[in-house]
Amino acid sequence: MRLVLVTQDFPPARGGIQTWALEMARRLSRRCEKFAVIAPAAEHSATADAALGFRVLRTGTSNSLVLTSAPALARLATREGFDRTLHAQWSTAPAARALRRFGKIEKVTIAAHGRELLLAPWARVGAAQRGYDRVRRRELAEADCVLAGSRYTAGLARDLGADRVLVTRYGTDPERFRPRDAASLRARLELGARPVLLTIARLVPRKGIDDVLGALADVRRSVPDVAYVIAGSGPDRTRLESIVHRNGLESSVRFVGAIADDELPLWYSLGDVFVMPSRSEPPDVEGFGIVFLEAAACERPVVAARAGGVPDAVADGVSGLLVSPGDALALARAMTELLSDPARRAELGRRARVRVLAELTWDAVADATFAALAE
């Protein structure tokens, strides 16, 4: 296989799709006769790219890659014999389909994540939005295969006309994400033996952190010494801090800011329960939630909302507890149940890691992806 991965999202930028693209590239590159990535130009990327062990062609920006990737892809196909493409977004697929039409590309595969299938960037200009929708439907319908990150995303793709859709899901690295001794971190935060709820997320409204804060008063009635640690940065921090002050939660809530990537396993291990009741606010949806797998690999049970693709990431009653989005009472009950029952908490955490090891590693995702590409 001579494969090109075309992606608008790639490190050094951070995020779920960036992580997926990098982990797939690392694994697929080892299985292909030829392999290359086409990604946006990024400051300080040259040194990082050189250490990856596969070719990365940088061109344009995340938005302009839709156009600038076309000549790079044409050169790879016509001059070097690259014959298959995997697109992290449907919007870069038209050039590959044109090359397929001229016999230069054999197979065009699109990965689907969620948000990009719901975007309506021209909603205020009816004719433009209808044209955008037609192009999106055409690219999904005419792709040889669409790889969906969850059953939810697969449904979105099928609704848009995709014919052959496979659910490949997402994964994590259980060698990196595993239980750590977080005693030193507890001491640094002066948490002592307090039970800890943890969220690691970009601070935006749809992550549901405000719902956790709203339920915290009920949790404190049964677990008065609970500490809620919120890790991450984002535009919603000021609003969230105002909720804390308004509800008198200062003694229970800690905002610790962004976490360095190499420290994530330690922070996951700090929490007794990982909580993130994301809401669906189209086009912003939780297509899956890799953070849930990272917490699971660290043997931490999860409390989440049954929204978007989250039920694929969190197995209710196995690796955590799912509640209805916006149900403050159910959210408080689930958090209280796990914080009050160390044995139940430990059992769910153990099962969570077993589930990751069995089916939700990046190796497993790469196996399913390679099989689909090779057909």
| pLDDT tens-digit map of 148-182 | 999 999 999 999 999 999 999 999 999 999 999 99
Q: Please tell me whether residues 208 and 324 are part of one structural domain.
A: yes
Does the residue 178 lie in any domain? no
Confidence of residue 90 (pLDDT cuts 50, 70, 90): very high
Give the pLDDT of residue 365: 98
Confidence of residue 331 (pLDDT cuts 50, 70, 90): very high
Give the pLDDT of residue 314: 98
Write the burial class of residue 248 (CB in 10 Å: 0-12 exposed, 13-18 middle, 19+ buried). Answer: exposed
CA atoms lying within 13 Å on the CB side of residue 300: 34
Give the pLDDT of residue 91: 97
Pick from 306, 113, 302, 277: nearest CA to 205: 277
Does the residue 284 lie in any domain? yes
Pick from 306, 276, 302: nearest CA to 355: 302
Per-residue model confidence as pLDDT tens digits over 184-234: 999 999 999 999 999 999 999 999 999 999 999 999 999 999 999 999 999
Give the pLDDT of residue 130: 97
Pick from 38, 42, 27: nearest CA to 4: 38
Give the pLDDT of residue 61: 97
For residues 231 and 198, the answer to whether their CB atoms sit within 8 Å is yes
Q: What angle do CA 153, 156, 159 make, to 5 degrees?
A: 150
Does the residue 10 lie in any domain? yes
Confidence of residue 274 (pLDDT cuts 50, 70, 90): very high
Q: Please tell me whether residues 153 and 235 are part of one structural domain.
A: no
Q: Please tell me whether residues 165 and 194 are part of one structural domain.
A: no
Does the residue 217 lie in any domain? yes
Does the residue 177 lie in any domain? no
Does the residue 220 lie in any domain? yes
Q: Please tell me whether residues 152 and 205 are part of one structural domain.
A: no
For the chain, what is the mean pLDDT? 97
Confidence of residue 308 (pLDDT cuts 50, 70, 90): very high
Does the residue 265 lie in any domain? yes
Q: Please tell me whether residues 311 and 367 are part of one structural domain.
A: no
Confidence of residue 51 (pLDDT cuts 50, 70, 90): very high
Give the pLDDT of residue 95: 97
> How many domains does the chain fold into?
2
Any idea what the CATH number is for the domain that residue 92 is in? 3.40.50.2000
Confidence of residue 343 (pLDDT cuts 50, 70, 90): very high
Range of the domain at 67: 2-171+361-374
Q: Please tell me whether residues 256 and 355 are part of one structural domain.
A: yes
Q: Please tell me whether residues 338 and 368 are part of one structural domain.
A: no
Does the residue 176 lie in any domain? no
Distances (CA, A) of 133 to 88, 126, 184, 220: 18, 11, 52, 48
Determine the Cα–Cα distance for residues 150 and 156; give it in Å rounded to an integer.
Answer: 10
Confidence of residue 116 (pLDDT cuts 50, 70, 90): very high
Q: Please tell me whether residues 157 and 238 are part of one structural domain.
A: no
Q: Please tell me whether residues 52 and 66 are part of one structural domain.
A: yes
Q: What is the mean pLDDT of residues 97-107?
A: 97
Place of tokens 């995340």: 62
Q: What is the mean pLDDT of residues 132-147?
A: 98
Give the pLDDT of residue 304: 98
Q: Please tell me whether residues 143 and 208 are part of one structural domain.
A: no
Q: Please tell me whether residues 24 and 45 are part of one structural domain.
A: yes
Give the pLDDT of residue 158: 98
Q: Please tell me whether residues 212 and 299 are part of one structural domain.
A: yes
